[in-house]
Chain A
Amino acid sequence: MKNKLQQNISNKKLVEIKNLIVHYETDDGVVEAVNNVSFDIEKGEVLGLVGETGAGKTTIALSIMNLLPKPPAHVISGEIYLEGQDLMKKSKKELQKIRGKKISMVFQDPMTALNPVQTVGAQIAEVIQLHNSSMAPSEIKEHAVKMLETVGIPGTRYNDYPHQFSGGMKQRVVIAIALACEPELIIADEPTTALDVTIQAQVLELMKQLQKKFGTAMLLITHDFGVVADICNKCAVIYAGEIVEKGRVEHIFDHPMHPYTIGLFDSLPTMDKDVERLKPIKGAVADPTQLPPYCSFYDRCDYCTEECKRQNPALKEVEPGHFVKCIHEVRGKGDEDHGAD
């Protein structure tokens, strides 16, 4: 294993995704959910994956876990490396050892993510027991109680069932499960979307603290730039299954360069300006069953030219660490206020 690690030059990289293409084959045609996506996450780093509903964010997350529902999903091509090892080539058994231990996941909807007929304690203990087979039952329970307390739930509630918890507390339990084995990477799939705003803030704060405390890397999937500004180091904006812009959070927030990212920022309400209407991006999301051979944002773009219809541009590095998938070097002005909330 050490050899393999050494073989990989960039062993600072925890996760590396290369040219991932995932299609869903349905009766109504082939849905091109993820198209040629590449990114990497370093140890202890938080990457925000931002995009609209249906942009392919969850599909990417499930690909990393190798939990895509097959059929209808098909991984057409791509490689996913965890610490230099290709996850796509792992057997079921090996994957089961990685899931929960090396990579864990926080799901979008805490209402349905917990098994309703098991106590929350048992559900935390399950993941501990799976990856620490030598631990005695009493130790496992002790650890599970500690995890509950880590996420701010009294240990006395170990034997309670999920229906006795509120939504925010359930999400805390899910986070406790995700952190129980101190994984290298947490994939958080819209962890606050199903919660109301005050609870969102609490859960986010908790995740931020725990991420710092455990030094875990995180892939945070969201459609909320506020969340990204709050806890991410890096950010990737995804549109119609493609990364259209990625870079450090400062790059994206200070001067977004892809028309889509600029459009997203323009459509956010600002606190200092009194505006009657928000400025939406015109048109609707590209139909993932009929993506054009040229730039998929063409129909909605304010900057498009004839040139845009001739090619599907590749990501290009406009400054160190800042990649944009656009032939025009538009330089949008980001608004620092968005980061403030």
Chain B
Amino acid sequence: MLWYIVKRILYVIPVMLGVLIIVFALKSIMPGDPVDMILPTTATAEEREAKREELGLNDPIIVQFVDYVKGIVTELDFGTSYKTGQPVSEELMQRFPITFILALGSVLLGTLLAIPLGILSAVKQYTWIDSLILVISMLAVSIPSFWLALMFLSLFSVELGWLPSIYDASLASWIMPVIVIALSAMSGLTRITRSSMLEVIRSDYIRMAQAKGQTEEKIITRHALRNAMIPILAAVGNSLGTQLGGALVIETIFGMPGIGKYITDAISQRNFPAVQGGVILLAFVFTFVNLVVDLSYTFVDPRLKGTIVTGTKRKKKAAAA
């Protein structure tokens, strides 16, 4: 198991390199010059040239790439932001927790809503309850989250005055953004829970559990849900990854200083070190989330342990038995 985890973490390196290559390629074909953004319009051509030399922008792209990777590997240096002159790593670390908590909180809330709804929908298949849940999740997925966010703002902040409209680090200011994202995450998860449960509750071992005289509630919780969990977990992991990079609109509407907003600003300012740092951080977290999801499968389904636990350990167990 440990070896598997180490191996999976090592896989992150080629992924990161791939991501970096793409980001660097984009940077070289992107129109616009960061120097224009940094220096005032009155700056002379010499000043611009000096700045460009200082930032290393005149070097061939390969040299820039190698320098950048070297900086990360040797001293965890992600460069300094063109705009603020602060180290990118520091700026990212200030913003990352906000995005992470927002994504985690909303996906968690979405999952907690989706699993009971999905189960209910599967158990009451083709009844009005099933249809109602279908309508709810259809609505949740089709309403654009920016529109919902604005409606929430006008109702709860402007009309009722219950919740702050702008993020102020208070708990209350988290409520609306988390709910808005949770609703959009919920709809897909509900559908997946429903179809996964439907597949499981038709299987023989469910009938077997009924033949044992087990109650319906316990058949669902003890026998069906755990078997239906793998597709649900995969979708939860995916959704978490998407929300990490995609919470930008909500962050902007609620004025939350998160990573999404940081990267978008950095792109429009051609603030390359910030873009690169942000993308690498997101890619790393995304891969890490996937690893956690993959590992969690083994706790849900004992059959997968055999494929993940290394061969030597299995042999030992076989010998013991």
Contact = CB atoms under 8 A, between A and B. Distances in A.
A192 B118 CA distance: 37
A213 to B, nearest CB: 21
Interface of A: 65, 67, 92, 95-101, 104-105, 107, 109, 112-118, 126-127, 130-131, 156-157, 160-161, 163, 174, 177
Contact of B204 (A107, A117, A131, A156): A107
Given A96-B214, A99-B212, A100-B212, A67 B302 contact: no
B203 A112 contact: yes
Interface of B: 203-205, 207-216, 222-223, 226-227, 300-303, 306, 321
Nearest to B206: A115
A114 B204 CA distance: 8
Contact of A105 (B211, B227, B303): B211
B300 to A, nearest CB: 7
A148 to B, nearest CB: 14
A273 B203 CA distance: 44
Given A117-B227, A117-B302, A157-B321, A100 B211 contact: yes
4 tightest A-B CB contacts, nearest first: A100-B213, A99-B213, A112-B204, A100-B212
A99 B208 CA distance: 10
B321 to A, nearest CB: 7
Contacts of B204: 107, 109, 112-113
Contacts of B212: 99-100, 104, 126-127, 130, 177
Nearest to B300: A117
A97 B210 CA distance: 11
A65 to B, nearest CB: 6
Given A156-B321, A161-B303, A163-B302, A115 B209 contact: yes
B216 to A, nearest CB: 8
For B208, B222, B226, B302, the residue with the greatest tally of chain A CB atoms inside 10 Å of its CB is B208
A116 B211 contact: no
A116 B214 CA distance: 17
Contact of B208 (A96, A98, A113): A113
A116 B213 contact: no
A96 B213 contact: yes
Contacts of B208: 105, 107, 113-115, 174, 177
A103 to B, nearest CB: 8
Given A65-B211, A67-B211, A177-B212, 11 more contacts: A99-B212, A105-B208, A107-B204, A107-B211, A113-B204, A115-B208, A115-B223, A116-B303, A117-B302, A127-B213, A163-B306
A112 B200 CA distance: 11
A115 B205 contact: yes
22 contacts: A92-B216, A96-B213, A99-B211, A99-B212, A99-B213, A100-B211, A100-B212, A100-B213, A101-B213, A113-B204, A113-B208, A114-B208, A115-B209, A116-B301, A117-B227, A117-B303, A118-B222, A156-B321, A160-B321, A161-B303, A163-B303, A177-B208
B210 A99 contact: yes
A127 B215 CA distance: 11
B321 A116 contact: no
A114 B205 contact: yes
A86 B204 CA distance: 26
A113 B303 CA distance: 16
Given A96-B215, A163-B302, A163-B303, A116 B205 contact: yes
Contacts of B222: 118, 126
A229 B309 CA distance: 48
Nearest to B203: A112
Nearest to B305: A161
Given A112-B203, A112-B204, A161-B302, A117 B210 contact: no
A161 to B, nearest CB: 5
Contacts of B209: 115, 126
Nearest to B301: A117
A116 B227 contact: yes
Nearest to B202: A69
